[in-house]
Amino acid sequence: MAHVAFLGLGVMGYPMAGHLVKAGHDVTVWNRTEAKAATWSATYDGSHAATPSDAIAGAEFVFLCLGDDPDVMAVFDAMEQAISADSIIVDHTTASAGLARALAARSREKGASFVDAPISGGQAGAEKGQLTIMCGGEEVAFDKARPIMQAYGKRMTLIGDSGAGQLAKSVNQICISGIVQGLAEGMHFADEAGLDIAKVMEAISGGAAQSWQMENRWETMSRGEYEHGFAVDWMRKDLRIALETARENGASLPLTAMVDQYYADIQAMGGQRWDTSSLLARMGRRVK
């Protein structure tokens, strides 16, 4: 059993922290909205604290699962004085590689270690404890954190030094955006051609066109249901990070930039909280 703090109880963090309790760890949580932390404590028989520094007092492992760079920075600032030497801080937020490197340096000054560990798998993956975790940092810290993360992660990979996990998450989001756009265009084409979409998907899903998005999203997309996964607002945040990093490192991302603007169209349609498969909606597919 480890003494663990978990900061940030959004749709991902809430069940992830719960899995840590189920795995037998002593967990204290903090959330910006304290009422949610109190509800979590009642649900999982855990503890909650009023401030980030109170939450991490004496913790061997500190997990963050927040929104964006400014959120991570604000919470880190608030808890920095309470960081214990030899503790391991794991940031599951999708944030910038530059932030990860900066916080790794600040953690070392406190005698602690920092692992950037963005996650993939969506709300369903968090609830089922089957997330993919891409990590950056020192191997020793990763090896210590890995058994704890196994409570909610099915695949954990150390990519490289600090920031590498965040860069790998950008690769993940770049690939997803292109795949979803391709699926949306294919389904739109099938519609306009008067094809039976179910038969088309049956025919092509066993071949080279197959993807996780096709397997798990074509039916809900066909019905105009977009409440089943990662929100458009979150994807645009992630793509913004990817595009900003590309401008720094010289990578060419024309498809990603185009799809990012398509997601801006979805936001303008009121689909900020629709899932990422809603790219089909901008082509005229009805929305329930």
What's the pLDDT at 228? 81
Cα 8-14-16 angle, rounded to 5 deg: 100
76-85 pLDDT tens trace: 999 999 999 9
Q: What is the mean pLDDT of the chain?
A: 96
What's the pLDDT at 229? 76
Residue of 36, 154, 169, 199 with catalytic role: 169
Percent of the chain whose pLDDT exceeds 90: 95
Q: Is 169 a catalytic residue?
A: yes
Averaged pLDDT for residues 210-229:
93
Averaged pLDDT for residues 34-47:
96
Q: How far apart are CA 32 and CA 10, in angstroms?
A: 10
Q: How far apart are CA 263 and CA 282, in angstroms?
A: 9
Backbone angles phi, psi at 224, to 5 degrees: 70, 30
Residue 278 pLDDT exceeds 50: yes
CA dihedral 111, 112, 115, 119 (to 10 degrees): -160
Q: How far apart are CA 201 and CA 197, in angstroms?
A: 6
Q: 1 or 147: whose pLDDT is higher?
A: 147
Residue 15 pLDDT exceeds 90: yes
End-to-end CA distance of the chain: 46
Confidence label for 266 from pLDDT (cuts 50, 70 and 90): very high
Give the DSSP H or E segment for 47. strand 47-48
| Identity of residue 237 | K
Of residues 89, 76, 65, the one with CA closest to residue 8: 65
Averaged pLDDT for residues 260-269:
98
Strands 61-64 and 88-91, bridge-based pairing: parallel
Residue 286 pLDDT exceeds 70: no
Other CB atoms within 10 A of residue 254 CB: 7
Residue 59 pLDDT exceeds 70: yes
Confidence label for 288 from pLDDT (cuts 50, 70 and 90): very low
Q: Record the tokens describing residue 25, joined without a space.
A: 């760890």
Domains of the chain plus CATH, in order, are 3-162 (3.40.50.720), 167-283 (1.10.1040.10)
Q: How far apart are CA 8 and CA 18, in angstroms?
A: 12
Confidence label for 38 from pLDDT (cuts 50, 70 and 90): very high
Q: How far apart are CA 36 and CA 110, in angstroms?
A: 30
CB-CB contact of 49 with 27 (8 Å): no
Residue 287 pLDDT exceeds 60: no
Residue 215 pLDDT exceeds 70: yes
Of residues 247, 242, 282, the one with CA closest to residue 262: 282
Residue 135 pLDDT exceeds 90: yes
CB-CB contact of 260 with 177 (8 Å): yes
Q: Which residues contact 282 (CB under 8 A, 6 or more apart)?
A: 262, 265, 266, 269
CB-CB contact of 156 with 129 (8 Å): no
Residue 285 pLDDT exceeds 80: no
Averaged pLDDT for residues 113-138:
96
143-171 pLDDT tens trace: 999 999 999 999 999 999 999 999 999 99
